[in-house]
Amino acid sequence: MSVPGSRQPQPQLNFRGAVDLSALKARATAAPPASAAHPAPAGAGQPADHAAPAQGAPAPGRIDLDERTFGEVVQRSATVPVVVLLWASYSPESQRLRDDLGTIVSSYAGRLLYTAADVEAFPQLAQAFQAQAVPTAVAILKGQPIPLFQGAASEPQTRQLLDELLRVAAANGVTGTADGVPAAEAEPELPPLHQEAFDAIDRGDFAAAEAAYRRALAEQPADREAKAGLVQVQLMARVAEVDQPAAEAARAAAAASPDDLAAQLRVADLDVAGGHVEDAFSRLVGFISRTGGEDREAARVRLLELFEVVGAADPRVAAARQQLARALF
């Protein structure tokens, strides 16, 4: 669980299923220029509304990906997370996403390096990433690819994944930036209300932190960080005063009364706070499947809040969402 105010990264993306790019890197290093090996269409890898940078002077925070630059990109991923968009000239959607994703990545102030590759000009890359369609977005971290998404993705969804990528990168010691400035120097200040919430958490005032997040959401209803912070600080407040004897009593009460809503919610909170995420999800899904009415809806709402606490990118959340769907329908 990521806790507002804690600067410790909580990785949720991972390297499962990653393929080793070292062999492809070696081939790319020895390969002839892209123009000789695979003639690319004019403007390949370039946003349609941006002029191509001069040879040897790529746009800040971006490298156009082909056989000549692939080795450099893999090497750079040891110091800065790399976002790769696989696109094709025959797919207008992928061309639009190529430009949109570049704009989003640029807003991260150099903490991410962006590159786009035309799969028609560089088919080996699509094979290396096991991409089944375009557009496909992946990341490279320490030479290993991490799947991001395939097809269209909304800006909030994209930003959430990129935020998680940065957390994973920090947890793995990858904290540089595209221009070589340490990430701590390049990181922008927190929005005032977010800082107010962090400060309140640091002094143990969860009510003040909740109020700050609510004001942030009133100003920006789509602020995902504020949404996540709100449900996290609410959970922290609910479990803050629960000591070991009280926790044991709560578990005994929940076991004795499996259809008691308050008892099940209390233990689900304790489970998530203690890292027993799957137990919490299973408890609430089971309650939802065997009850109805207002209690069922209250349990569903709490479960969705706990999903937000854990993070949408966590595979345990995806599995629990499927279980919830079966329980509801």
Residue 249 has pLDDT above 70, yes or no: yes
CA dihedral 59, 63, 69, 75 (to 10 degrees): 120
What is the reported pLDDT for 259?
94
Beta bridge mates, 46: none
What is the reported pLDDT for 29?
42
List the structure tokens of 244: 């070991």
* Alpha carbons 176 and 182: distance in angstroms, whole number: 5
Strands (E), 196-316: none
Segment (H or E) for 88: none
* Alpha carbons 192 and 329: distance in angstroms, whole number: 42
* Alpha carbons 178 and 134: distance in angstroms, whole number: 25
Segment (H or E) for 86: strand 82-87
Q: Tell how far CA 234 is from the center of its chain.
A: 22
Min mean pLDDT across 31-40, 108-117, 131-140 is at 31-40
pTM of the model: 0.46
* Alpha carbons 236 and 240: distance in angstroms, whole number: 6
Question: 257-278 pLDDT, tens per residue?
Answer: 999 999 999 999 999 988 899 9
What is the reported pLDDT for 42?
31
* Alpha carbons 226 and 58: distance in angstroms, whole number: 35
Structural contact between residues 206 and 1, judged by C-beta atoms closer than 8 angstroms: no
More confident residue, 164 or 41: 164
* Alpha carbons 64 and 58: distance in angstroms, whole number: 8
Mean pLDDT over each residue of the chain, to the nearest integer: 79
Min mean pLDDT across 28-42, 48-62, 120-134 is at 28-42
More confident residue, 137 or 173: 137
CA dihedral 201, 207, 211, 214 (to 10 degrees): 90
Identity of residue 163: D
What is the reported pLDDT for 180?
63
Domains in the chain with CATH codes: 22-185 (3.40.30.10), 192-239 (no CATH), 244-328 (1.25.40.10)
Structural contact between residues 98 and 87, judged by C-beta atoms closer than 8 angstroms: yes
Q: What is the mean pLDDT of residues 50-62?
A: 42
% the chain with pLDDT above 90: 43
